[in-house]
Structure formats: C-alpha cells, structure tokens
Amino acid sequence: MNMLQRIVKQNRKYYRKRNLLIGIAIFLASLLIFVLLSIGVVFQQEQYASINAYYQNWQGWYKNIPKELTKKLASRQETGKWGLYTSKAFTELPKHKRVYYCYMTDNARDMLRLKLAEGHMPKAENEIVFTPEAARKLKKPVKVGESVTLSFQVLRNGKADYSQKKEFVISGLLEDTESPDANSFTALISEQFLKTEVPAEQISYEFLFRVSDKDASSTVQIENIIQNMAAEYQIPEDNVRI
C-alpha cells in the first residue's frame, strides 16, 4: 500500500469517527433541548393549573339580568362558556353576617371555583348544599343526609320578606374554602326551590361568561367585547364586572 492510499484510508477512518462523534453530539444536544422545552411546558402548565385553581375562572360578569336577556347573551357568538346564579334568600347571623342561599348552574359553580367535596347538588325542593363554614355558622351538622330546619328570609320585590322556616336535607357539602372571618357564607339551593319561593318575573340572574376563544386574542379585546355587549343591551356600568 503506497503512502497516498494509506493517507486516504487513515483520513476515511478519521472522518468516519469524527462524523460519528458529531452525530452523537447533535443527538445529545437535540435531546437536551427537547428535555428542557418539555420541562418548561410542564412547569408552565402547572403554573396555569395553580392559577386556574385559585382564581375565579370568568372574564365578564353582568349583574341583575332578566331571564330573557340571559338567553340573548348566551346565544351571542362572542360568548363562550357561561353560567347563571342568583341569591334570593338569606339567614341573618350575628355581627351583620349572612348565609346566602344561591341557585347556580354547574358552569357558574365551576367558574366561581365552588367544588363539591361529597354528595350531590340539590335537585329536590328541600335539598341544600352547604360550605362547612356556613353549616358551622348556622350551628347545623356537617353531614350529608342529615335533616336541618332553617330560618330564612326570601327577597321578594327587592325587599326581604318575613322570616320563615323550612326543613331541608343536606344533599352535599362544598370544599371548605370560606374564612370564618368572612361576612357572607354560601348555601346552594335547587332551581325548584327558587321557582317555588320567588315569582318568575322577580328573578334576575348574575350572568358569568368567558369570551369565545376565537374572539379572545388579547386582554384589551376581551374587555372591549364585554363592554360593547353591555352597552348594546343597555346594561348599566355599575352592573358590569371584568
């Protein structure tokens, strides 16, 4: 084998080894980048999950909305996920505190981050769900299936009516998220109870919603959509929250 052939052979071995090492280096670098990006995505998702678990998940809130108007708002293409709730009864507690009896749809409950810890949501007229703190303030048992007699006042024609009593069955309990130092506490009632106690024409709702994803390109655009919809339906500014 002459010198030229030997040099060619040596070069071939050298470059083969070099290319192999370069290939391994590229693979390891790509793997490292992929791992770092994956960790970043997971970390970001965990951050979003933590934020979503803590903060209320609505973008627009219209107060005191008649039933017919809620249907129009829900049918708008700008409206994504939406829910309704209303509070038409309460129990007065010492130190100007209250337990409010609220009817709300599942979507509203989800957007307000009220999670059911056990049992089921009220369906029958005499079923009720408490937060543990509400039950403690009312000095009632915190146990699903127990019967409780409650004194409360219903809001009719915008005013608190006479005090009345009713026996309820605790159908479920919400997660214990309310502070004992708060001024208001939550009990959930059924739609059937609401319709029995309050005439339909006197029921107004809180309309909570998120702007549809295709229209929600920026925070400014979301706020403009919420404000423009409110103006179109003549919803007073004091009844709009963003």
- H-only helix segments in the chain: 3-54, 67-75, 106-111, 132-137, 191-197, 219-232
Residue 169 contacts by C-beta under 8 Å, 6 or more apart in sequence? 124, 126, 127, 128, 145, 146, 147, 148
In the structure encoding, which two tokens stand for residue 122, read together? 């009220």
- Candidate ranges 6-15, 19-28, 29-38, 110-119; pick with highest mean pLDDT: 110-119
User: DSSP assignment of 153-204, as one string?
Assistant: EEEETTEEEEEEEEEEEEEEEE-S---TT-SEEEEEE-HHHHHHHS-GGG-E
pTM metric for this prediction: 0.75
Mean pLDDT confidence for 150-159: 92
pLDDT at position 57: 79
pLDDT at position 236: 96
pLDDT at position 35: 60
- Partnered with residue 164 across adjacent β-strands are 152
- Name the average pLDDT for the chain: 84
Mean pLDDT confidence for 49-70: 76
Q: Is the pLDDT of residue 149 over 60?
A: yes
Query: Do 148 and 170 form a contact (C-beta atoms < 8 A)?
Result: yes
- Partnered with residue 241 across adjacent β-strands are 61
Q: Is the pLDDT of residue 8 over 50?
A: no
Q: Is the pLDDT of residue 51 over 60?
A: no
Burial class (CB in 10 A: 0-12, 13-18, 19+), 203: middle
Q: Which of 242, 133, 140, 115 is nearest to 179 (CA)?
A: 133
pLDDT in tens, 164-215: 999 999 999 999 999 999 999 999 999 999 999 999 999 999 999 999 888 7
In this prediction, residue 20 has a pLDDT band, given cuts at 50, 70 and 90, of low
Q: In this structure, which amino acid lies at residue 135? A: A
Q: Is the pLDDT of residue 41 over 50?
A: no
Helix, strand or coil, per DSSP, at residue 107: helix
